[in-house]
């Protein structure tokens, strides 16, 4: 069964593959990215699927977000997938944290996904699937932190996980399921060439979780293979 999915960060890597797999299954895909002029692969994909619609959206530009919400007001969105994110500086040790970059990462990875949920909540509630998915990361798991460091990215995803939990409670009456997802260590620009799995493997697993999710899964944190990750 097909539906409508709105994805952020869709111009490359995992986001682009999510667009590909859902469009291939006959879904209507709103493929959002920060700069359409640099989204050559997404535009090529649009040529293959009539129901794939590239949209320029910087998730930290809340005026753009509101404009999009007005443009699709009343349209059911079965899956809202907040995939866009920003890693920030890598290899930052204790005592070397850049506060400006920290704020930038928190804006992209924590505040913006919440604002997407708030802005498009009515669209999701009007759909059949009623699902909001947040792309988190295992490094945001407090229980899994055995190496320390990573203050900027870790905190942004740990905070996002708390948003998922709160949304799962606040939106339960509307029948909306909210999930946190870990894509695995994927061979993307962020994951690097030494990563363990392909983009196709990651998204195939994520898609299975998305399509099978219901209220029993709401407020939980899942690996791409379906296993649950501790907060």
What is the tens place of the pLDDT at every residue in 15-57?
999 999 999 999 999 999 999 999 999 999 999 999 999 999 9
**pLDDT at residue 191 in the model:** 60
Instruction: Report d(CA 231, CA 222) in Å as an integer.
Output: 10
Q: In whole angstroms, what separates CA 187 from the centre of its chain?
A: 17
Task: Kindly give the residue spans of alpha helices, DSSP state H, lying in the chain.
Answer: 13-24, 40-48, 62-71, 99-106, 112-125, 151-170, 199-212
| pLDDT tens digits for range 56-69 | 999 999 999 999 99
CA distances, 198 to each of 90, 124, 184, 217 (Å)? 22, 30, 9, 25
Is residue 231 situated within a structural domain?
Answer: no
In a domain, 230, yes or no: no
Residue 127 domain flag: yes
Confidence (pLDDT) at 6? 98
State the total domains in the chain.
1
Query: Are 178 and 162 spatial neighbours (Cβ–Cβ below 8 Å)?
Result: no
Q: What is the pLDDT of residues 153-210, one digit of tens each?
A: 999 999 999 999 999 999 999 999 999 999 998 877 666 666 678 999 999 999 999 9
DSSP string, 87-149: ---SSPPTT---HHHHHHHHIIIIIHHHHHHHHHHHHHHTSSS-EEEEE--GGG-STT--S--
Average per-residue pLDDT for the chain: 95
Give the number of C-alpha atoms closer than 13 A to the C-alpha of residue 1, restricted to the C-beta side. Answer: 8
Query: Does a structural domain hold residue 121?
Result: yes
Per the domain annotation, does 229 fall within a domain? no
Yes or no: say if 80 and 176 are a contact pair by the CB < 8 Å rule: no
Q: What pLDDT sits at residue 214?
A: 96
Neighbouring-strand partners of residue 112:
none
The residues that bridge with 177 in the sheet, in sequence order, are 131
Specify the DSSP class assigned to residue 194. T
Residue 176 domain boundaries: 4-223
**Exposed/middle/buried for residue 196 (C-beta within 10 Å: 0-12, 13-18, 19+):** exposed
Question: For residue 228, is it within any domain?
Answer: no
CATH classification of the domain holding 58: 3.40.50.720
For residue 56, being part of any structural domain is answered with: yes
The C-alpha atoms of residue 66 and residue 61 are separated, in whole angstroms, by: 9
CA-wise closest residue to 195 among 140, 137, 148: 137
Mean pLDDT over 93-101 rounds to 95
Quick one: tokens of 134? 């947040």
């Amino acid at each position: 069964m097909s539906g409508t999915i709105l994805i952020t960060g869709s111009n490359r890597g995992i986001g682009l593959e999510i667009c590909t797999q859902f469009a291939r299954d006959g879904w209507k895909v709103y493929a959002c990215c920060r700069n359409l002029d640099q989204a050559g692969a997404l535009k090529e994909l649009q040529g293959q699927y009539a129901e794939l619609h590239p949209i320029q959206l910087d998730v930290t530009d809340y005026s753009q977000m509101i404009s999009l919400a007005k443009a699709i007001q009343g349209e059911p969105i079965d899956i809202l997938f907040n995939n866009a994110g920003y890693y920030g500086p890598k290899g930052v040790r204790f005592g070397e944290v850049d506060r400006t970059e920290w704020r930038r990462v928190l804006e992209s990875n924590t505040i913006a996904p919440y604002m997407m949920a708030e802005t498009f909540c009515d669209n999701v509630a009007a759909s059949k699937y009623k699902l909001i998915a947040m792309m988190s990361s295992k490094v945001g798991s407090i229980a899994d932190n055995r190496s320390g460091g990573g203050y900027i990215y870790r905190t942004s995803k740990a905070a996002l996980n708390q948003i998922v939990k709160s949304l799962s409670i606040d939106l339960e009456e509307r029948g909306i399921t909210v999930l946190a997802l870990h894509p695995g260590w994927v061979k993307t620009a962020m994951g690097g060439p030494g990563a363990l799995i392909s983009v196709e493997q990651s998204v195939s697993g994520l898609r299975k979780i998305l399509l099978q999710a219901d209220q029993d899964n709401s407020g939980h944190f899942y690996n791409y293979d379906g296993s649950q990750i501790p907060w």
